[in-house]
Amino acid sequence: MKRLLLTLSVFAIGYLTVPAAHAQNITGTWKMSSAVLEESNGKKSDTHQDQLKNMPCASTITYTFKPDGTLVTNAPDCKNLKAIIESQNGKTTWKQNGNKVTITTTDTRFPAQVYSVSVTGNTMTWYFGYADNPKTANPTKAKSLVTVYKKI
């Protein structure tokens, strides 16, 4: 459950680093396909698959990175959690500088988070290093989170 909450918090404000020679814009609508959490002991687990077992509606959640720098999360099939998941809409922004993307929210419980991002075709990979983001809650003492999205 802690991993599920950790994963949701990272994505609510809405990844192995693959350096981008030429950073590609992340604008568009994306769906998560995996989220591999690496713990400090090297153990890896796909928290997205765990999330799908506990919350099957997560397979329909989309993340839209709008050209104006806002991030909109749409959770059409998550009846009971829809309001919670979508509550950050209008509060969450993104800014890209090369292959780094910073996610910020007006919700002070979530500090700004910096990701390394690469885009290849219709696949976007985000690397989140907890050591690089020391203000982010890390109850499991994880090392990193690599999240893969598919463009829709």
Closest CA to 135 of 13, 39, 3: 13
pLDDT tier at 23 (50, 70, 90 boundaries)? low
CA separation for the pair 117, 145 (Å, rounded): 12
pLDDT value of residue 1: 41
Give CA angle at 65 (63, 71), nearest 5°: 75
Give the tokens for residue 91: 């509060």
Contact residues for 67 (Cβ-Cβ < 8 A; gap 6+): 27
Q: Provide the domain limits for residue 28.
A: 2-151
* Global pTM value: 0.82
Q: If you average pLDDT over residues 59-75, what whole number do you get?
A: 96
Q: CATH no. for residue 53?
A: 2.40.128.280
Give yes or no for residue 14 having a pLDDT over 80: no
CA separation for the pair 37, 60 (Å, rounded): 21
Domain count, the chain: 1
